[in-house]
Every structure is written in structure tokens, then in C-alpha cells.
């Protein structure tokens, strides 16, 4: 094998191994932040839903109150949103 080819393969081997370890560290650093952002959004949504349902629950008509009607209307609604270049329909 020629020296240039050996150097070429060695360079890409070292670069590939370095990229692998850099990506592992990057993913391990980014993953907790993404989870925290998702959890924060879920907590906010849960609190909004709890506030919306509180009056019907307190009045004792959670099954046929305004909250159920609002949820049914929200499920029928087409959000017309794009999420990561994919249309969100439901």
C-alpha cells in the first residue's frame, strides 16, 4: 500500500474516532436540556388543563360541563401546524 493511501486512511480513522467521541459527549450534554424543556412544557400544559377543569369538577359536572365540550372541540380542530417539516393534523 502506498504511503499516501496509508496517511489518508489513518487521517480518516482518527477523524472518525474523534467525531464519534465528540458526538457522544454532545448528545449526553444536550439530552438533559431537551428533557427539561419538554417536561417544563408538559407541566405548563397540565396546569392549564387543571385550571380549565377545576370549575366543572368543583360543581360536580365534569362529564357534561364546559371542559368536556372544549376538549371535544379542540380534538376536532385542525391545528394547521408544521412540526419538523411534517404537517400536524391531530
pLDDT value for 1: 72
Question: What are the respective helix, strand and coil percentages of the chain, to the nearest 5?
Answer: 75, 5, 20
Ordered mean pLDDT values, 10 residues apiece, the chain (90 residues): 89 96 90 85 90 88 87 85 80
Q: Does the CA dihedral 17-19-22-24 come out positive or negative?
A: negative
pLDDT value for 23: 94
- Entry pTM: 0.55
For the chain, how long is the longest CA-to-CA vector?
84
- 56 in Cβ contact with 70 (< 8 Å): no
- Give me 80's grid cell: 394547521
Amino acid at each position: 500500500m502506498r504511503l499516501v493511501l496509508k496517511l489518508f486512511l489513518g487521517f480518516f480513522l482518527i477523524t472518525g474516532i474523534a467525531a464519534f467521541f465528540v458526538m457522544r459527549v454532545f448528545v449526553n450534554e444536550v439530552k438533559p436540556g431537551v428533557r427539561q424543556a419538554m417536561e417544563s412544557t408538559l407541566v405548563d400544559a397540565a396546569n392549564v388543563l387543571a385550571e380549565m377543569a377545576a370549575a366543572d369538577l368543583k360543581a360536580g359536572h365534569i362529564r357534561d360541563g364546559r371542559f368536556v365540550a372544549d376538549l371535544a372541540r379542540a380534538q376536532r380542530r385542525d391545528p394547521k401546524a408544521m412540526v419538523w417539516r411534517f404537517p400536524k393534523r391531530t
